Structure 1
Amino acid sequence: MLSPKSAETVRATLPAVGAAIGEITTLFYDKLFTAHPALRRDLFNRGNQAAGTQPQALAGSIAAFATHLLENPDARPDTMLARIAHKHASLGVTEAQYPVVYEHLFAAIAEVLGEAVTAEVAEAWTEVYWLMANALIAIERRLYAEAGTAAGEVWRTYRVESRHQETDTVTTFVVRPADGGEVPAFRPGQYVSVQVELADGARQIRQYSLSGQPDGALQFSVKRVLGEEAGGSAGAAVDGEVSNHLHDHVQAGDTLTVSAPFGDVVLDEGEGPLLLASAGIGCTPMIGMLGHLAATGSTRRVISVHADRSPATHAFRAELQQFTGKLANATAEVWYEHPGADADWPADRTGRADLSGLEIPAGTTAYLCGPVPFMKAVRAQLLEAGVRAADIHYEVFGPDLGI
């Protein structure tokens, strides 16, 4: 809870800080990377930095947290905090890094706002920062404990058992622990971080959704990302440097550094109806959820919605049909922009996904993954159909600008 004195100061200065927050966060990263260049090289996504999406996400999270403290003084924005904490844990972020962030963030605030940053203002925003930081530290500490690892020690060497080409641009990798041990437990919908060493020596990290449940192994799928598709695949860089490296250089028998699984958008264990909506490579967490439902013989009502450019670009197309066929009460609703002669879905499902003609049962829990415009459109239709906002969950690949 923000102290009354600080709340008054934050309320008075939030418009000024909010107006300058984009400039502040950009300057913050400049200062941070100048002082600690290894962070840019080995921890932060260089593509997201170049595209400006990471500074936008940081700015949005700080502004959203401060606003929440003012409007809901007795509650925390736990959904937002959990999403950030899971991403931090998948990167191995530790408590010791928060004072470093504080130092450079507040140096940026002082430089941008100048004389407006009085001692009182600095004290109030320091309180905001540490309320948010300590909340994240507590959640991350719990996540590490649940993963059975010490804080930050999430990395493990895996050997690539196989790779399979799903489409021209999507490849699935199956990896097993190189030490012969057991794979960590995970929940359908979660992801792993994959760290690779690039040609310039940088050890860049990206997150990829777990797209299957092979015995004793982990399975994740990677879309080759072109420059114009930045942000369209899990952890995508502007030039797709990691996805292209995995596609071009990683073969069966090679080793990869992979994190423990994390992720806050996971399949619930209830018995109510489900709607799984995806577009493009957003199918990866959804096919993981659907595969789990099929493997456990679920009797839940399941509606799978998928949109893609064509049958040829639709990764896990056969699996969607297979898993849906195994479930007693499941249907697949697919739209293609360019169906082609080989499309085996209803002929009227051409163009973009449109849920308005679907019968969505009361009490449905929905999971969304895909491009942001797709998820916004689907969410709006779900709300119109009576699905509660609290029951609509989404996974975003890259920085979550929605928060």
Structure 2
Amino acid sequence: MLSAQSLPVVRATLPAVAGSLDAITAAFYRRLFDDRPELLRDLFNRANQASGTQRQALAGAVAAFAALLVERPGERPDALLGRIAHKHASLGVTADQYALVGRHLLDAVGEVLGDAVTPQVAAAWREVYWLMANALVAIEAGLYARAGVAEGDVWREMEIAGRTRQGDDAVSLTLRRTDGLPTEPFGPGQYVSVQVELPDGARQIRQYSLSAAPDRKTWRITVKRERGTTGSPARPDGEVSGRLHAHAREGDLLRVSRPFGDLVLPDGDSPVLLASAGIGVTPMLAMLDHLALTSARRPVTVVHADRSPAAHAHREEHAELVGRLPGAAFHVWYEDAAGAPDAVAGHPVRQGRADLTGLPLPAGTTAYLCGPLPFMRAVRGQLLAAGLDPAAVHYEVFGPDLWRTAELPAAGAA
């Protein structure tokens, strides 16, 4: 909760700060990387920095957090912070790093807004930052404790036990511990971070969903090769995915984090809808595998959209898992359906973009979405139009989360 003296200051200055957040976050990252260049090399995603999406996500998160402090002063908006905390934990972020970030972020506010940042304004926004930072530190401490590791100690070497091509642009890598011990359990839908050394010496990190249910012996990730836009320096080929596709082989070692992520399928008997597009199928595979292994009897509706049958990673496995669930419904759309079967798991294949309008949904359905933001926005809109409660729609974003923050109060001003 903001103090009585800071609340009116933040309320009065929020429009100006929110309207300048893109410039503030740009100045922040410049200051941070000038001071600590190793953070860009070994912690932050260089591709997201080049495209500006990380800057947009940070701006939206700060604006949304501040707006919620002003509009709901009696609440601490932990729901907004949970997704960020999981990502931080998967990177091994530690509490002491928040002081460094806070110094450069608040200095960036002063650089951009100049004389408008009076001592009173600076103190109020310092309070906003530390409310956010301390809340994240507390959540992350709980995540580390549940993972059974010391703060930030999430990394270990794992051996690639198998590699399998999955569709046109994806490979799955099966991972096992080098000490022969069982892998830790995880929630179906969670992800791990993978750190890869690149030719220039950088150790870049990316997150990959665990694409099969935990079996206490191995984990599996599925890596899509990211294709850039020709001639666009802001959209280069994926340097980590490209490296893994070209060089990761059975017997190699990968540096992998413990599992994290807040999109987890809970046990129970209520109906669920699992909607994915493209490589967003990966957390859904783990959920379906878990449902099949536990002989779940709950109603399950599965939706998937892809460019083509050849692009559909784990296509046969996807259908086989649905087929193992009694009464499960499977709805598949391909933008180019040439070569697709007329039906998958007994359900028709459609051409075009996914359209859930009119799709029968049992009462009490909870939806889990993963895929490109336009797909998830469209599906969410169709589900809400069908009467689904907004609180019953959960999602996973690969990369900076530009969705949740854009929908929260004042975030659009960033």
TM-score class, shorter:
over 0.9
Q: Which residue of 1 aligns with 2:264?
A: 266
Distance 1:347 1:219 in 2: 29
Residue correspondence of structure 1 range 2-401 to structure 2 within 5 A: 2-213=2-213, 214-228=215-229, 238-345=236-343, 349-401=350-402
Q: Which residue of 2 aligns with 1:233?
A: none
Deviation at 1:215, TM superposition (A): 4.4
Greater relative CO (CA pairs within 8 A, separation 6+): 2
Distance 1:269 1:76 in 2: 28
Report the TM-score when normalising by structure 1.
0.96
Q: Which residue of 1 aligns with 2:408?
A: none
Distance 1:222 1:228 in 2: 19
Deviation at 1:357, TM superposition (A): 2.6
The answer to whether the 8 A contact 1:311-1:342 is kept is yes
Distance 1:116 1:342 in 2: 61
The answer to whether the 8 A contact 1:46-1:237 is kept is no
Distance 2:332 2:33 in 1: 45
Letter paired with 2:27: L
Q: Which residue of 2 aligns with 1:232?
A: none
CA RMSD of aligned residues (A): 1.4
The answer to whether the 8 A contact 2:89-2:152 is kept is yes
- SS of the equivalent of 1:83 reads helix
Distance 1:273 1:228 in 2: 40
Letter paired with 1:399: P
Letter paired with 1:227: G
Letter paired with 2:136: L
The answer to whether the 8 A contact 1:45-1:237 is kept is no
Deviation at 1:238, TM superposition (A): 4.0
Distance 1:175 1:348 in 2: 33
The answer to whether the 8 A contact 2:334-2:349 is kept is no
Distance 2:245 2:303 in 1: 28
Deviation at 1:301, TM superposition (A): 0.3
Q: Deviations over 1:89-119 (max 9, x none)?
A: 0000000000000111111111111111001
Q: Deviations over 1:133-187 (max 9, x none)?
A: 0000000000000000000000010010000001121000001111222212200
Deviating runs (4+, > 4 A) in structure 1? Answer: none
Distance 1:71 1:364 in 2: 31
* Alpha carbons of structure 1 residues 269 and 244: separation in structure 2 relative to 1, 3 Å: same
Letter paired with 1:109: V
Q: Deviations over 1:266-309 (max 9, x none)?
A: 10222110000000111001111111101110000000000011
Report the TM-score when normalising by structure 2.
0.94
Letter paired with 1:224: R
Q: Deviations over 1:111-135 (max 9, x none)?
A: 1111110010001001000000000
Distance 1:241 1:170 in 2: 14
Distance 2:298 2:78 in 1: 28
Distance 1:77 1:362 in 2: 29
Deviates more, 1:329-338 or 1:300-309: 329-338
Distance 1:237 1:392 in 2: 30
* Alpha carbons of structure 1 residues 89 and 238: separation in structure 2 relative to 1, 3 Å: farther
Letter paired with 1:301: P
Deviation at 1:349, TM superposition (A): 1.3
Q: Deviations over 1:315-361 (max 9, x none)?
A: 11111211111111211100111111332326671100111131011
- SS of the equivalent of 1:319 reads helix
The answer to whether the 8 A contact 1:302-1:331 is kept is yes
Distance 1:43 1:238 in 2: 19
The answer to whether the 8 A contact 2:332-2:348 is kept is no
Deviation at 1:380, TM superposition (A): 0.4
Deviates more, 1:273-282 or 1:210-219: 210-219
Distance 1:367 1:79 in 2: 17
- The number of aligned residues is 397
Distance 1:285 1:101 in 2: 31
- SS of the equivalent of 1:163 reads strand
* Alpha carbons of structure 1 residues 220 and 74: separation in structure 2 relative to 1, 3 Å: same
Structure 2 spans left out of the alignment, 5+ residues? 406-414
